[in-house]
Copies of this chain bind each other. A is one copy, B any other.
Amino acid sequence: MPELRKDPISGRWVIISVERGKRPTDFKIRVPVKKGGFCAFCNGNEHTTPPEILAVRHVLSDPDTPGWSVRVVPNKFPALNIESQLNKVNEGIFEKMDGVGAHEVIIESPEHNFTLSTMPLKSVEDTLSVFYKRISELKKDNRFKYVLVFKNEGDDAGATLEHTHSQLIALPIVPKLVDEEINNSRQYYKKNEKCIFCDIIRQETADRTRVISENENFISLAPYAPRSPFETWILPKNHESRFSPDGKFPLLAQILQKTLKQIDKVLTLPPYNMMIHISPFEEELNKYYHWHIEIKPKLTKVAGFEWGSSFYINPTPPEEAARFMRETEI
């Protein structure tokens, strides 16, 4: 019997195939093949990208030259334009505004063939620090209400360049999905005087079936109502509404890289998307929302049913996914 499960944070329902759940080997995953050729993100080609915004680099090296380990550049084909004001306009019944925003690329390593799961742990930590630093900078621009940091790994997950990188988009609007999560979390807090994420972590830690791994500060788990197979969340164990280092990025880098290694091993290098969910700038310090990382391997297709309902059909129960992840040797 399939199950209908509700994600209490977003309010969305998913259909979970409980009985004949799909195992990792049931998914057709195309082994990624690096095409090679000229790459603007590689060491030595720094002059072919727009000028860098930020880099972790050797003290004696100059901007836009080799000597860096993580580098942030503007997206050459930005979805939004930084040089603009909001200019809200009504077109009759409709509303629009200029597409103001920042769109940046975080090149996580000068090495073409590294990924977040194979690069030195220090580079993962530096990447997280760079995320934090760019979010902090963009927050000062009062046109922006939110920054979404995300990563598309692999062609099928939407990556257009194969060199390992993340992206961020600063937005003049709090995205609908974030707004819904914030509202539901706020309501839960009003009713229970507790953060819903803290309560989930408490329940999952006691129950264990969906916990994948943990360290002193962080926990990785398969959420109760995941949209897709092997969806995995990483959360700080204690309440934190704001994504910030506070000395914890080494442990975050450790659990993030471990989780990605587990995903790579269990699913044989699947394409995936990774998103960092943070609180909107205007309510960055709050008691109800808990920042977290969501990782979604791209194993299923969004089709008519999903587009017409925002229901998702997930053929792998999260309890099974968590077990595969826990039991894999990395």
Contacts and interface: CB of A to CB of B under 8 A. Distances in A.
A100 to B, nearest CB: 8
A294 interface: yes
A40 interface: no
B303 A99 contact: no
Contacts of A81: 1-2
Nearest to A172: B4
A309 interface: yes
B6 A309 contact: no
Nearest to A11: B176
Nearest to A156: B301
A299 interface: no
Interface in A217-256: 224-225
B99 A1 contact: yes
Contacts of A224: 91, 94
Contacts of A151: 304
A2 B177 contact: no
B277 A95 contact: no
Given A167-B305, A307-B150, A93 B177 contact: no
Contact of A173 (B13, B156, B276): B13
A195 to B, nearest CB: 11
Given A176-B12, A305-B169, A79 B148 contact: no
A305 B79 contact: yes
Interface stretch (A47-55, A126-134, A196-204): A196-204
Interface of A: 1-6, 8, 11-13, 15-18, 78-81, 84, 91-100, 148, 150-152, 156-159, 167, 169, 171-173, 175-178, 196, 199-200, 203, 207, 224-225, 273-277, 294, 296, 301-305, 307-311, 313
